[in-house]
Amino acid sequence: MHGNSLTFKAFKNSSYNVIGYFWPMLFTLFITPIIVFRLGLKDYGIYILVSTIISMLGLLDLGLGTAVTKHMAFYFGRKDYTSMNRLAHSANSLFLVTAIMGVIITILAVCFGDYLFPEKFEVYRQYSFLILIAGLIFFFITINATSWATMIAIQRFDITTKVGMASTMLTSMSMLFAVLLGGSLISIFVLQLIITFLIAVLYFRIVRKIL
């Protein structure tokens, strides 16, 4: 099977997708029980809630990531690198607006939480800072979206899988060390924020190097 054949590339990309699917499951299987035991049910529930907020903010994307991937793949197939560059600049601007909107929403949630849920919010006020960190994590995930879409468009699943595996490993291990050392939820999310920022920088450098 020739290395440049479509069959080889399809097999290679499928293999990386399978690895990328099972890798997080392995970490979750072994690390989650330790984290739940160390944090306790209440704090782990808060961790899941904040993580869900990050995922929900992804709805602000409105399909932009899929559209960028589609058009990037089209221009890449035509070897129209000028159009790819223009699209990347436009997508970066749109994703930046989306990222800023996500941060603003988290700030508003913290500022007006008392008015929306006066009784419940007061009990969990100590965790409100986590929502702001969640907004910053969403910010770095979103501004990295163009780089991620570009890698998918040019079918570099090997890179997306390797970076994703590294991100999963770093995030899981940082959580594990944080809880074993008696760290709080804030320390866990701060570590995740740092890792998200580093992954965004890494993706950006990889895309620039490849293209």
Q: What is the DSSP string of 34-91?
A: HHHHHH-HHHHHHHHHHHHHHHHHGGGGTTHHHHHHHHHHHHHHTT-HHHHHHHHHHH
Contact 91/145 with Cβ under 8 angstroms? yes
Averaged confidence pLDDT in the chain: 80
Give the model confidence (pLDDT) of 87-113 as tens digits.
988 999 999 999 999 999 988 887 776
CA dist., res. 17 & res. 20, Å (int): 5
pLDDT, greater one: 17 or 28: 28
% of the chain at pLDDT higher than 70:
80
Residue 86 clears pLDDT 80, i.e. is over it: yes
Residue 122 clears pLDDT 60, i.e. is over it: no
pLDDT, greater one: 99 or 170: 99
152: confidence class by pLDDT, cuts 50, 70, 90: confident
Contact 137/193 with Cβ under 8 angstroms? yes
pLDDT at 118: 54
27: confidence class by pLDDT, cuts 50, 70, 90: low
Q: Mean pLDDT, to the nearest integer, of 153-171?
A: 79
Residue 207 clears pLDDT 70, i.e. is over it: yes
